[in-house]
Amino acid sequence: MSWLLHHSSDSLRRLIAILSTTFLTLGIGLASPITPYTFNHSNSISNFPNPEPCTGNCTWVHDPSIIKKDNTYYRFSTSGNIALATAPSISGPWEYRGAILSPDPKWRVHPLQDVWAPDISKVNSTYYLYYSLSYMGFQSSGIGVATSPTMDLHSWTDHGSMAFPLSPTYNLIDPHLFTDPDDANSPYYFTFGSFWDDIFLTELPRSLLTAKAKNSNELSLVNIVRNSTEKAAVAEGAFTWKYDEYFYTFFSSGWCCNTPPDLAPTGHEYKIMVCRAEKAKGPYVDEAGRDCEKESGGTLVLGSHGDVYAPGGQGVMVLDEEEGRPVIYYHYVRPSVGYEAEQFLFGWNYLSFETGWPVVVEK
C-alpha cells in the first residue's frame, strides 16, 4: 500500500515522540491528556491464528516483498528508498542492511513523491526490483525498476521509469511481476493499480524494463479485480501466485493506514482477499463464484483479530526448509502498541490449500 514517508517527517515524528515522553516524565502539562486508543474487537473475526514469531528488525515494515537466495531471506519494504533486511529464516533474526535506491530516483513528477511497494523477482541470473513513486491522493504515480546480479546493497542499477503512460483510468502503484511456472514460453505478466478502477494486468516485453506501449490507448490491459463494496472502494497490492492448476491473486482491500480517531468503520478495515482463475488473465472468481471484476468478488484470507489490526501488503512463497510449505507474509499493527507508520510490524502465517482455497492455519 501507498505510504507518504519522508526522512524529514520521520525525524519530526521521532522528535515529537521524544518531547512527548520527556514532558510526561517531567510532569509538564499538555493541552489535553494522552489516552491510548483501543480498537473495538467486538465485530472483528477471531478465528485466525496469530502471526508466527519474528525476531530482529520486525518493525517499520510496510508492503514486504521477500525472496530467498541460497540460505538467506531478502526482505524489501516501503520507506527509506526501499529498505533491505536479511535473515537466515523467515522468522528472523532480521537485520536491516540499508536503502536500495541511493541516491533518490531522479524521475519524480511531483516533489513530494516517495518510493512505495517494492516487488522482487529473479529472471535468469538477474534480480528485478519494481517499485512505484507516488504521493498520497494524487494520480501522477509512476513505476520504476532496478536490477542487480546479487541483491547486495550497493549492486543495484536503477533504470528509472518504465514509461507506463499516465491515464485517468488507473494509478501506477503496487507493481508485481509473475509468470506461469508450468509454461516454458510463458509471457511476463505484470499487475499494478489501486483506487482508480482497481487492479490491472498487462504483459511486459522480454527486457522487463519498459512498458510495451507508450500510449495509454495502445496499452493492452485487463481489469482483473474491481471493488465497489468497501466504503473506500479499494483493491490494491495484487500478488499472483500459481498453486496446482489455479492462479491465485491475493490483494488488499479496505481502509489502510488510518490512525485514531479516524479508523475505518467496522468491517471496512484493511484486509487480505483472494480470487482465483484457471488462466493468468482470468476471469477471476471468489469461493462463492462471484466474478472479481464484474461483481466485486473476493474471499477473505486474513482480517483483523485479537491484537492484529489491518493486515495487508501481502506476498506468498514456499519454505524450502519445510518441504515447500506455503506461507503468506504481510504488514499489520497492534492496537495495544499504536497505529503510526513506525509501529507497523512484519507478520507471516502458514497457508493450507486443502480445500482449493488458501486458509491461514497454525503451524
d(CA 241, CA 325): 14
- In the chain, DSSP finds a helix count (H) and a strand count (E) of 1, 20
**Residue 326: is the preceding peptide bond cis (ω within 30°)?**
no
Q: For residue 343, count CB atoms less than 10 angstroms from its CB and return exposed for 0-12, middle for 13-18, buried for 19 or more.
A: middle
Cα–Cα nearest to 129, from 73, 185, 66, 221: 66
The burial of 30, by beta-carbon neighbours within 10 Å (0-12 exposed, 13-18 middle, 19 or more buried), is given as exposed
Give the length of the chain. 363
- Which residues, including other chains, have CB under 8 Å from residue 205's CB and lie 6 or more apart? 188, 212
Q: Which three cell numbers stand for residue 131?
A: 517499485
Question: 75 φ, ψ to 5°?
Answer: -115, 125
H/E stretch holding 361: strand 359-361
Specify whether the CB–CB gap between 192 and 175 falls below 8 A. Answer: yes
Is 95 catalytic? The answer is no
Which of 131, 127, 122 has its CA nearest to residue 82? 131
Detail the DSSP E strand segments found in 27-164: 65-69, 72-77, 83-87, 95-99, 114-123, 126-134, 142-148, 157-161
Cβ within 8 Å of residue 70, ≥6 positions away: none
**Is 63 one of the annotated active-site residues of the chain?**
yes
Among the listed residues 63, 119, 158, 269, the single catalytic one is 63
CA dihedral 269, 270, 271, 274 (to 10 degrees): 120
Catalytic entry in 119, 236, 269, 286: 236
Q: Tell me which residue of 263, 254, 251 sits closest to 233, measured CA to CA.
A: 254
Question: Would you please indicate which residues are annotated as catalytic (active-site) residues?
Answer: 63, 236
